[in-house]
Structure 1
Amino acid sequence: MIIKKNIIKSEFINRPNRFQAYVKINGVETMVHVPNTGRCKEILIPGCTVILRQEDNPNRKTAYDLIAAYKGDVLINIDSQIPNKVVEEALNDKRIELLSKYNKVQREKTFGNSRFDFKLTDELENECYVEVKGVTLEEDGKVMFPDAPTERGKKHLLELVEVKKCNKDAAVIFLIQMENVNYFSPNDTMDKAFSDALRFAEKNGVHVMAYNCKVGEDFITLYKSIPVKL
């Protein structure tokens, strides 16, 4: 997907809380919004180059969203609103092979008492419910999720198992918001309960997939499947 709003580079200063950061724009210290509640401590390092997207809502307190940052030479998108948009584009373009038989893609659909990111339906009315998790944590080519404890994430996985029990298909897609990585694993150190739930879901028939992305300063698109090591 192409980011159509104005994009600029700046220098990261600090992040006093989850939603705000300070950057230098043309030498002027400026507060911006961070659309990611994760920690991103290994990415948002003082002095690093970050990418800002200009917003046009006059009611906002900040004029820019901090959507990406360079970790060395690698550009990592950190916008938590992006993964679902990228996956939706890929689903519609049939670029996720395991799910390519589904021709109807719906966002934010409920099954039982649960709301999932996507409901997919094929020509025979077979259904698949899909959850998407954005991944930004990388160490030496290994990418992991989560980067902060997530009770909500564990709940989603257990709900997907309930979908399988009703003879419907279920999947979780870890969208890696960068390109050059080797494999994906759950982050046992950060959240053992989530990691155990992911292994439990996989053993009960939930498809566990990871895809990396081609990332530029004004675009991000799903690229290719990455090995999953549980």
Structure 2
Amino acid sequence: MKFSEPLVEGRLIRRYKRFLADIRLPDGTEVTAHCPNTGSMRGCQPENARVWLSESNNPKRKLKYTWELVETRPGVLACVNTARPNAQARQGIDAGVVVELAGYAACRSEVKYGGEKSRIDLLLSGHDSRPDAWVEVKNVTLDEDGAGYFPDAVTTRGQKHLRELMGQVAQGERGVLFFVVNHTGIDEVRPADHIDPTYGRLLREAVAAGVEVVAYRAALVNGEGDPSGSLALTEAIPVNLGA
């Protein structure tokens, strides 16, 4: 997927109150940007990091800028906008990049499901030979020595989603956990047992129960050499569940 307008480069001053970030633009102006990320953003807010913002011309918006990308170390980018992965996943499926989810005729979003009253990110239906696929999408940006870890903070919501996917599998449907890896330095995905051991245990339990897990890395373009910048999924990478 491409951004509709060129991104604006700046330098990170600080992130605070979870949803706010102060950014210094190249001309020295300081602006406050919306930070659409409820996680800890561990590893994604280095001091004085280069960042890229999308800009809105909507006069009704309180904040003009949204924080999209960050350079976590020289030449390595991460997308911190957690509103992006669902669209990235859907476009990757539509384009045939995600081979595990090819062949479905229809895709719906935010469909109610499960005994814990959840809403699925993507519901794929209309396959000639396979059951419907209930797809939960997660954004992976926590990098530790080339391995991507999820989650970056304890997530009771994520734990609930694993239970819901197991419930769909028990009913004869496909339950799929889809890791969108929005970090160009990550080569594999692992459960973050050192952060949320309960999630790691449930993930392994879910896989044993038949839940499928896939991970696809995005090629993040910040606009340098590209007029708008993009976030397209390009390749599958391994998921390592460990012991």
Which TM-score bucket, shorter chain as reference?
Answer: over 0.9
Task: Output one character per residue of 1:123-180: Cα deviation in whole Å (capped at 9) or x when no partner.
Answer: 3683110000001100110000111111000000110000011011110001100234
Deviations 1:60-107 (A, max 9, x none): 221100111001210111110110000000111222111112221111
CA distance in 2, matches of 1:184, 1:213: 13
The two structures, once aligned, show a CA RMSD in angstroms of 1.4
Hey, which bits of structure 1, 4+ residues long, moved more than 6 A?
none
Structure 1 residues without counterparts, runs of 5 or longer:
none
Runs (5+) with no aligned partner, structure 2: 223-228
Question: Quick one: distance in 2 between partners of 1:83 and 1:91?
Answer: 12
- Alignment partner, residue 151 of structure 1: 156
2:93–2:99 CA contact under 8 A, matched in 1: no
CA contact (8 A) 2:42 2:152 kept: no
Q: Percent identity?
A: 31
State which drifts further: 96-105 or 167-176: 96-105
Aligned pair in 2 of structure 1 residues 9, 168: CA closer, same or farther (>3 Å)? same
> Are 1:91 and 1:105, in contact at CA under 8 Å, matched by a contact in 2?
no
TM-score, length-scaled by structure 2: 0.91
Cα distance in 1 between the residues matched to 2:210 and 2:143: 27
Residue among 211, 218, 227 paired with 2:216: 211
Distance 1:52 1:200, change over 3 A: same
Q: CA deviation at 1:182?
A: 2.1
Shift of 1:111: 2.5
Instruction: Measure the CA separation in 2 of the matches of 1:165 and 1:223.
Output: 31
Partner amino acid, structure 1, of 2:37:
N
Q: Which amino acid aligns with 2:81?
A: D
* Counterpart contact for 1:154–1:197, Cα < 8 Å: yes
Match of 2:76 among 51, 74, 77: 74
Amino acid at match of 2:177: V
Could you tell me which of 125, 128, 149 is aligned with 2:133?
Answer: 128
Q: Which amino acid aligns with 1:33?
A: H
Choose the corresponding residue for 1:119, options 115, 119, 123.
Answer: 123
Distance 1:99 1:22 in 2: 39
1:25-40 residue pairs with structure 2 within 5 A? 25=25, 26-40=27-41
Question: How many aligned positions are there?
Answer: 230
User: Is the 8 Å Cα contact of residues 215 and 237 (structure 2) preserved in structure 1?
Assistant: yes
- For the Cα contact (< 8 Å) 1:174–1:209, is it kept in 2? yes
